[in-house]
Structure 1
Amino acid sequence: MKAPILIVKKLPAAGMAIFPFILLKNERLKQDQDIINHEKIHLRQQLELLILPFYILYLVNYLINFIRYQEHRKAYLSIVFEKEAYHYESDINYLKKQNWYGWIKLL
């Protein structure tokens, strides 16, 4: 999957996927295969859910986790979409293996 990469210096995170773009905080992150793959996994998730439902489920999952853990970082890392992306970000071939809806098994 070839995604356009935009540099957004004031981005609150190192990277972010907003279909169809990958946003990065700085130019050097273009060389970080893990972060690029992580964001490509999010782009796949967005496609799987027809984009808008992804953002709704992402936010709902975060809010439920935040109520549960009362801590931003733990709530964020417990989002099912983040679990899949972090777990497979080092597997450059993950998206080629047809792992559609891989996040479901992490519910």
Structure 2
Amino acid sequence: MSKLSLFPIIIVVPFLKVSGMAIFPFVLVKHQDLKNDDQLIRHETIHLMQELELLIIPFYILYLANYLVNLIRYHDHEKAYLNIVFEREAYAHETSSSYLKHRKFWGWLKFIKA
């Protein structure tokens, strides 16, 4: 994991509308079997690191602001979501088992595009 040895607390939330979600300090998953989905847990753990770096509340503000700007730009929910800078980092590295060990502080910054 990261320099902070972040091991998420995973909670099953059956009524969740998505497969997984990071709400510090938890990773929420829709089904019990998703607790063992390394790719999903890594994706959400990247979000936990982003949340910590931004002292949690500012992360959610920036996440929502980035989504709204993208929604205006793309006029499409899915495209707006996929282009959130925090999602871009998480999706880019969710398959790398070593990413969290070597991730640079504020690693999401390199995913900002003009």
TM-score norm. by structure 2 comes to: 0.92
Higher mean C-alpha displacement, 70-79 vs 89-98: 89-98
**2:51 pairs with 46, 57, 62, which one?**
46
Residue identity in the other structure for 2:106: Y
The answer as to 2:27 corresponding to 1:22 is: yes
Question: Which portions of structure 1, spanning 4 or more consecutive aligned residues, are displaced by more than 6 angstroms?
Answer: none
| Structure 1 spans left out of the alignment, 5+ residues | none
Q: Does 1:5 align with 2:4?
A: no
Which is further off, 64-73 or 95-104? Answer: 95-104
Please list every run of 5 or more consecutive structure 2 residues that lacks an aligned counterpart in the other structure.
1-5
CA RMSD of aligned residues (A): 0.7
**1:26 partner amino acid:** H
Residue 75 of structure 1 aligns with which residue? 80
Query: Which residue matches 2:106?
Result: 101
Q: Please give the alpha-carbon distance, in whole angstroms, between the structure 1 residues aligned to 2:94 and 2:8.
A: 16
- Number of aligned residue pairs: 107
How far, CA to CA, are the matches of 2:80 and 2:70 in structure 1? 5
Amino acid at match of 2:83: S
Quick one: distance in 1 between partners of 2:99 and 2:8?
16
TM-score normalised by the chain length of structure 1:
0.98
The equivalent residue for 2:97 is 92
